[in-house]
Structure 1
Amino acid sequence: MGAGRHRSSGLSGFWMPRTDQTAQAFAARDSWSMGPGRAASDVSSHNAADMSSVRRLLAVLANPPLATSGQRTLNRVSLAARLIGCDDVVVGNLFPIASKDVTALGTLGADSDQWLAARDGLLRLLLGADDVLLGWGRAEPAGAARIHHRSQIQWLMTELESRSLQVWTVGGEPRHPSRWQRHTCRAYPGRPFGSALAAALLAGLPAR
């Protein structure tokens, strides 16, 4: 699911790491690296943004994990930030309470209260962001939680459309970081993960 630790506030899953060391480790492992100041391949002219000031990426995930530390997710989001050209990362969640998987989210998210409570935290994160990466996953919770989940995404899309922020997805959909390598292996067979992820990071809002 999302990343971070179990908290009940809308800021659960909040990180602000420096991205350079994490990305360099991935690049070294994959025998691939970017030139200075490069971003996610050449998918957008936004990649040439001035790097003289701190540029912050907000990654929006589903909800914090319960069974893991979320470090693998953080590593991949930090790599994506470096490829895009960002210096710092913050992670927000559509739903603030941790769960083991999307099935459990269907139970935890049956009421609208926590979904609505998460919006204040997400709005604060949007105010401090320059780029937004959508990564809550393609799976949906069941039951009433599905309605609230879709409503939360609709609300976020409306907020994004009203702001001058660059939005990113992997492969044109809000894939969760845990699924990125599966996608890049299929879409870019034979390419190292870092290189394939750079090509897969696409600028623009996904189709509704």
Structure 2
Amino acid sequence: MRVVIAEDLALLRDGLTRLLEAHGIEVVAAVGDPEALAAALREHEVDVAVVDIRMPPTFTTEGLVAAIEARQRRPGMPMLVLSQFVEQLYARELLSSGQGGIGYLLKDRVSDVATFIDAVRRVADGGTVLDPKVVSSLLDRASRRQSLARLSRREREVLDLMAQGRSNAAIANTLVITEKAVGKHINSIFGKLDLALAAEDNRRVLAVLAYLQEAPTGSG
């Protein structure tokens, strides 16, 4: 697997590089600003980019903008973005294409090495991974909206785990139910959120996006 890292803090950039390489993941470029990220993505064929949302010069949304632009140039380009805080608008922007290959983790999640490496691999494989803290914040706010009241408590639990990138088998194991039951809950979620027939992976992303579109904008 080939990875590009975009992180303005040299110490964290070096730490991410060492961590990924220690797990057999090749880092083809490690850069500190959006322009260098764009250049690296033009120069290298990569499986996933790990990008800090807040980068120079203003440290607001430069990394996010660079990630979105990269996915516009190469639809479905796998992107794992890192953020210091739960920022709903950013998560919504990333998922707006309805395509997989997207991850949003809080930076403190990097210290959980197994979780971070698993997220990198799942995003590279086209999956969608949202930090549990991000999901919790979004669902807590979104659940107050009347249009979401159609989902049962169990369906919200299933959607929470879907947003974290869990497979049906993993969801079944976590909730101690059968995979068949998980499938029924997911189909019910799709129906209640009025999601048209589409590829299964895209419908999972769109289900999460439906929550994000109901949540208020701004930081959590």
Which TM-score band applies after superposition, normalised by the shorter structure?
under 0.3
Larger relative contact order (C-alpha < 8 A, sep ≥ 6)? 1
> Normalization by structure 2: what TM-score?
0.23
